[in-house]
Amino acid sequence: MDSNWSDYVQTSEELYRSRALRFHDENKKNWLNLIRIQDGMSVLEVGCGSGLFAHRVKTYLPHATVTGLDFDLGHIAFAKAKSHELGLDCTFVNGDATAMPFADQTFDLCYSFTVMEHIEPNAFLREQYRVLKTGGTIAVLTVLPGLNLNGENWRPSTGEEQDLFDKAFQAAPDAPVHVRKYPLSASEYAPIMEKNGFTDVNVEVLSIISYAPDNADISDETAIESINVNRLFALNSVEKVLKLNPAALTDSEHIHLNDLINQRFDERIDCYKIGEKLWDIATSNVVAITGSKR
């Protein structure tokens, strides 16, 4: 176990806030249907990150017994602290998805969101087959690219901001974590599920709008949070790169780069506040592959 994911790939706050926008209440029914969950089930979220999805599940289905497992120490510490803050009775455990610390036949449902592409898929599926009860369900959710209209990130960084970021990025060694080490094509998901013993395999796709601050049915609070989450991604990408090579930028370059990023997102918020619509919209296609252990 280590904190490489939260240190170098996605911080706990970044994951939690971006997932909060994605798993919002209006889509509650769709998400719960996709993972085929029912209240009262004993459920395991594999690769739960900082815990937002598990928290939503427990909030919506209070009689479910919810456990989240993740390799990353930082994410699990964050998820536990948030459970405490929100008064939610979820269990979060550090562990490896390919050798989980649970007995055979423990859970009614194992689900995961954007995890299988990072783990050897046969080992990932076999281990969930082992911990599922007979008659239990697996739901593997992943995301295929969607549509970007007018730039997901308001406007792309250009000029000085991009030059400073490139300077930091080019000087950095590779991060000690391999993201998407096991990418599968969309046509490989269902067969690999069957190969690992699951029956009744089913594939569904949910297209969601993941960012659209100018849409009429989005509240001011959500619109501004969605811009600020993109700001957080941009600021954190600098911090992650500098962790790998702290000397890549001088202190004044680092401060200046952060100022440029903040100016860019402040401008986007100013446009929003004065009602100047830019129609920057992003969508995601969530693919859910479900199966049963018979």
* Signed CA dihedral, 239, 240, 245, 248: sign only: negative
Least distance to ligand SAM, CB of residue 160, Å: 31
- Segment lying near ligand SAM (by CB under 6 A), choices 91-99, 190-198, 221-229, 265-273: 91-99
Residue 119 CB partners (closer than 8 Å, separation 6+): 47, 97, 98, 181, 182
One character per residue 19-38, x = contact with ligand SAM (rule: CB under 6 A): x-------------------
Scan for tokens 């009744």, then name that residue.
200
- Segment lying near ligand SAM (by CB under 6 A), choices 71-79, 127-135, 144-152, 200-208: 71-79
Contacts (CB under 6 A) with ligand SAM, residues 93-112 = 96-98
**Which residue has its beta carbon closest to ligand SAM?**
49
Q: Which is nearer to ligand SAM, 27 or 258 (CB)?
A: 27
Q: Which is nearer to ligand SAM, 5 or 198 (CB)?
A: 5
The answer to whether 257 touches 118, Cβ cutoff 8 Å, is no
Q: Which is nearer to ligand SAM, 57 or 234 (CB)?
A: 57
Q: Which is nearer to ligand SAM, 17 or 293 (CB)?
A: 17
Strands (E), 22-130: 42-46, 65-70, 90-94, 107-113
Give which of 220, 189, 187, 206 is closest to 115, Cα–Cα: 189
Given 11, 41, 43, 72, the residue binding ligand SAM (CB under 6 A): 72
Q: Is 161 in the site for ligand SAM (CB under 6 A)?
A: no
Q: Which is nearer to ligand SAM, 7 or 161 (CB)?
A: 7
Contacts (CB under 6 A) with ligand SAM, residues 254-283 = none
Q: Is 44 in the site for ligand SAM (CB under 6 A)?
A: no
Q: Which is nearer to ligand SAM, 47 or 213 (CB)?
A: 47
Q: In what order do the strands lie in the sheet with 199-211?
A: 90-94, 65-70, 42-46, 107-113, 132-149, 281-292, 199-211
Give which of 77, 80, 76, 101 is closest to 89, Cα–Cα: 80
Q: Is 113 in the site for ligand SAM (CB under 6 A)?
A: yes
Pairing of strands 132-149, 65-70: unpaired
Scan for tokens 């194992």, then name that residue.
110
Hey, is 218 helix, strand or coil?
Answer: coil
Given 11, 83, 114, 157, the residue binding ligand SAM (CB under 6 A): 114
* Signed CA dihedral, 156, 281, 255, 6: sign only: negative
Measured distance CA(151)–CA(153) in Å, rounded: 5
Q: Is 7 in the site for ligand SAM (CB under 6 A)?
A: no
Given 37, 43, 110, 115, the residue binding ligand SAM (CB under 6 A): 115
Backbone angles phi, psi at 2, to 5 degrees: -155, -175
Q: Which is nearer to ligand SAM, 142 or 157 (CB)?
A: 142
Residues that bind ligand SAM (CB under 6 A): 5, 15, 19, 47-49, 52, 70-72, 75, 96-98, 113-115, 118-119
